[in-house]
Structure 1
């Protein structure tokens, strides 16, 4: 109970401080009542949903929506709070300076405070509108990102080979069939040689994918569709009645992959062949520094040759950073997901930022080290926060070229 009390106090303190902006601009009591009514309703709704959350049912859309409303309410207020706090610090610093310099202290001007409050509300409106867009449109704002990667030892027959990389479907979060089909159609429009999926088919339970089997089964690729598991595919974030239930769910999730036409690679490899040439496709189970370590890179690579051209599917990009990029085997291209780009950030020409970059060194897009590449897909779906702001759902198309 203490943590809930502290959480509520913390949110109300943010509300109280940010309310100063509203108070300085409008003295209308109706505005005051409306401000506090909406703030308390949003906070109460979130606390209620989370406190009554049944871990045996998994993460529900109701909980995600409650969290989304809290984010929508709090982030703009934090922006306002920082601006007002900076103004207070500036004013106090001037008073202290004037005191020690024997100058006449600068008085407090309410008009200046009101002006700063207007700036605070104006700037806070930017994240407010962005979050609304992210929750209504942004989460299905699919982007097709195309990359061409060059390799000295790419087998000649695979020059121009095109693959589509998707990740983090999180089918338990879906709420719009038309938008999902739009994303699937975009994947098919790429007409790639192969489709590679790097895990997190569901949020928690196999049954979340049942309504979407026919949709994802319609994905097409000339040389096949291949997949691996992500950390959410192991049922680790839900309370099970017993170990048998958890194992049955895990088996059901693995059986979903062939049902949608994907060849699930569980610490194993296959060869893709064109003419007299071939490339190795290796799939490891989840391996992460912060999450489940079921992946075994050496086992997955045990049936391929060291000189083969290799594409590795590994859900968590921390695997590449900690094991793959410096491995004695040259894994030419690694495909990962997991981070979602945190579903929040800024990506405009010259600026690429998200809070997740302070957790994962490789968090979105293509990176290269030691002449080895990794692509971290921003995810097809979404989780927890029911939206995306600045970091859009991604379909990656990579063309392999011989240098």
Structure 2
């Protein structure tokens, strides 16, 4: 009798374990696709520097990246993104590339939505590697951004002004498959003031640290897109191996922020890696 109970108990455990495994097999992909993939997280950070002119103290920048339009991006999710970005009342918006996943044929349909992002001191963008995978898509991406009032920074610098002060926002072409020229991007930058660089791939910071740049904003990594508890990211694309997610200090004076992105690529899942809106508030350091 004791042997039968023991055997029955063992079989029950096997049965329950099987059901649990089946449940996880169904629930984890469902959560990763229907839940976390569109569960936007807003991260607030403050950065101070004596190089930030006092009229820019309190300047609010919203940074986001990697929309990957055309790959499992629905209108409701995009509308939620617009609402959450504009709710921050940013002075400046910075988008660090991969507007599309690959196909730009329907990009014109997104222009009215891209136009809804509001920032009084300007909206700035660079191209990512997915924007340039297909040579026939690059012009469409550039046109969509410019028609949406984004200032496209391809090896270019723009100065923003507040009262009698200026600050630099520079951008480089995609590092992986573009023609980045950091010297050209910074050619017209005022080296006596704070400089922000938009560069799609974060590991470019190892080169940028030798230039007069204070803050590099990047994306590309998706934070790994899928992360495991106690382990972290499993894999990231080239040039996002070192600075995968969040804020880093590189060299003597450069800070790098890598945004986890909004969309997905290759597979439409996120796990322990929510899509991210970054709100950066700049403050003048007290000497």
Maintained 8 Å contact 1:356/1:363: no
CA gap of 1:400–1:315, structure 2 versus 1, over 3 A, is same
Deviation string for 1:342-375 (max 9, x for gaps)? Answer: 321157xxx6711136961111111113232111
Maintained 8 Å contact 1:205/1:235: no
Tell me whether 1:360 sits opposite 2:244 in the alignment: no
User: Secondary structure in 2 aligned to 1:207?
Assistant: coil
Maintained 8 Å contact 1:140/1:180: no
Maintained 8 Å contact 1:205/1:253: no
Deviation, structure 1 residue 390: 1.5
C-alpha RMSD of matched pairs (Å): 2.4
Within 2, Cα distance between the matches of 1:346 and 1:276? 49
Deviation, structure 1 residue 131: 1.9
Tell me whether 1:286 sits opposite 2:286 in the alignment: no
Equivalent in the alignment of 1:312: 197
Tell me whether 1:199 sits opposite 2:199 in the alignment: no
Equivalent in the alignment of 1:324: 208
CA gap of 1:249–1:175, structure 2 versus 1, over 3 A, is closer
Q: How does 1:130-141 map to 2 (within 5 A)?
A: 130-141=28-39
Equivalent in the alignment of 1:296: 181
Q: Normalising to structure 1: TM-score of the pair?
A: 0.64
Equivalent in the alignment of 1:143: 41
Which consecutive unaligned segments of at least 5 residues does structure 1 have? Answer: 1-108, 237-245
Tell me whether 1:231 sits opposite 2:116 in the alignment: no
Higher share of residues assigned strand: 2
Deviation, structure 1 residue 137: 2.4
Q: How does 1:156-175 map to 2 (within 5 A)?
A: 156-175=54-73
Within 1, Cα distance between the matches of 2:119 and 2:112? 16
| Correspondent of 1:269 among 149, 157, 167 | 157
CA gap of 1:265–1:352, structure 2 versus 1, over 3 A, is farther
Within 1, Cα distance between the matches of 2:221 and 2:64? 13
Within 2, Cα distance between the matches of 1:181 and 1:162? 21
CA gap of 1:338–1:124, structure 2 versus 1, over 3 A, is farther
Maintained 8 Å contact 1:343/1:391: yes
User: Secondary structure in 2 aligned to 1:145?
Assistant: strand
Deviates more, 1:351-360 or 1:199-208: 351-360
Equivalent in the alignment of 1:34: none
Q: How many residues end up aligned between the 2 structures?
A: 276
Within 2, Cα distance between the matches of 1:300 and 1:175? 32
Higher share of residues assigned helix: 1
Within 2, Cα distance between the matches of 1:139 and 1:117? 32
Tell me whether 1:335 sits opposite 2:213 in the alignment: no
Within 2, Cα distance between the matches of 1:119 and 1:371? 53
Q: How does 1:339-354 map to 2 (within 5 A)?
A: 339-346=221-228, 353-354=232-233
Within 1, Cα distance between the matches of 2:236 and 2:143? 34
Within 2, Cα distance between the matches of 1:120 and 1:318? 43
Deviates more, 1:157-166 or 1:351-360: 351-360
Deviation string for 1:205-263 (max 9, x for gaps)? Answer: 22232221111111100101010000011134xxxxxxxxx3x4322221111111101
Maintained 8 Å contact 2:228/2:234: no
Within 2, Cα distance between the matches of 1:254 and 1:232? 13
